[in-house]
Chains A and B, each alone.
Chain A
Amino acid sequence: MSSMYRKNIILLAVVVTFLFCLLFSPVRQTLSPIAYSFAVPLWKISNSVSEKFNAIFVLFQEKNELLAENKFLLDENARAQAMILDRNLLAEKVAKLEDALGRSNNDNRVVAQVLVGQGYSPYDILVIDAGIRNGVEVGNMVVYAGGGIIGEVIEIENSISKVKLFSTPGEKHSVFIGQNHFPAEIFGAGMGNFKAKVPQGAAVSVGDIVASPRGDLVFGVVSLIKENPVEPFKELLFRVPFNITEVRSVEVITDKQ
């Protein structure tokens, strides 16, 4: 073994050990804001440049204009679908509340822009531009279009937060499915997709809404049921009712009452 090679190996071991030490809290919590002081302005410039570039390009090409308009309408449609689901749930909820004699269901929300979305990181997180100074706390729920639940705040800085997506592979959540509020556990399958296993006899069908236990936030709509009569369980597949890679702004529920 040459001395140069041995020296490189030893140096690598020392450097890697040092880097791992830096990645442990609280050193990490000190270094992260420094990294973000560079990253956030870069992301904001990048987003603004790409928006302006797209705007100029569309002016000169009619075909591209139509494509952009089509994209916008598709986005709006996805957003509207999510909002309709939310409204349906709210209407149902209001009816129940009227029966039970009024119980307030207000929450405080902070609107945040997504600085970095899905696809830029293998960690399945969103980086949003709201943090401690906006009243965001670790554990706050993050929703899109009013009622489409996306994830949960797991790390916060002064002006940014990291949101872990509920659809991250391995994540497990309790939900109610459909009008009969069938209780189930769902598992993240990545990129806004979920899986669940329910007993064969469960009254669940394609198109059923998958909602949070409180019934006010929507995880998605059942899109496929895989069943084999000889097995005791059937598998449900569903996804969030919007394109998670194109989410540009979200709402953080800071104070659920």
Chain B
Amino acid sequence: MKKRILFTTLLFLTIFFTPTWVGALLVVVGALAFRSYYEILVAGLIFDLVYGVNGGILGGSMGVIFTSLVFLIALFAKKNVR
């Protein structure tokens, strides 16, 4: 639980302080490392609220779309690997 909280804090900080690819990498790692890692969806929402614009690329919802896909893929992957 402690690891999960620390990782989530780090993930949220990367939204503000690092280029997008760093956050994207942490989203993938987190989704694979933790069970039902719904926090990435919140990270996606924050990303879109801060950087996204109405009518922008993918309607300014790139963060939510990306994190949902990662969550879904991680869910499938974990089910089939187990």
Q: What residues make up the interface of A, taking CB atoms closer than 8 Å to B?
A: 2, 5, 8-9, 11-12, 15-16, 19-20, 22-23, 25, 28, 31-32, 35-36, 39, 42-43, 46, 116, 119-125, 127, 154-155, 162, 164
Mark B residues whose CB is within 8 Å of A. Answer: 16-20, 36, 38, 41, 44-46, 48-54, 56-57, 59-62, 64, 68, 71-72, 75, 79
Complex alpha-carbon distance, A125 and B60, angstroms: 11
Q: How far, in angstroms, from A164 to B55 measured CA to CA in the complex?
A: 11
Q: Chain B contacts of A36 at CB under 8 A?
A: 50
Cβ 8 A contact of B49, one of A15, A16, A28? A28
Evaluate contact between B50 and A119: CB separation under 8 angstroms.
no
B52 touches A12 (CB 8 A): no
In-complex Cβ contact of B71 among A12, A22, A154, A164 (8 A)? A12
Complex Cα distance, B78 from A8, in Å, reads: 12
Contact of A123 among B41, B56, B75 (CB under 8 A): B56
In the complex, the chain A residue whose C-beta lies closest to that of B51 is A121
Contact call B51/A125, Cβ cutoff below 8 A: yes
Whether A39 contacts B62 in the complex (CB less than 8 A), given A15-B41, A22-B45, A121-B20, comes out as no
Among B17, B46, B49, B64, point to the contact of A20 (Cβ < 8 A).
B64
B38/A15 in contact, CB under 8 A:
yes
Q: List 18 A-B contacts (CB under 8 A).
A: A5-B75, A12-B72, A16-B41, A23-B45, A23-B61, A28-B60, A46-B16, A120-B18, A120-B20, A120-B51, A122-B20, A122-B62, A123-B53, A123-B56, A123-B62, A127-B50, A155-B54, A162-B53
Q: Once the chains are docked, how many angstroms separate the CA of A157 from the CA of B56?
A: 17
CA distance A155 to B71 in the complex (A): 30
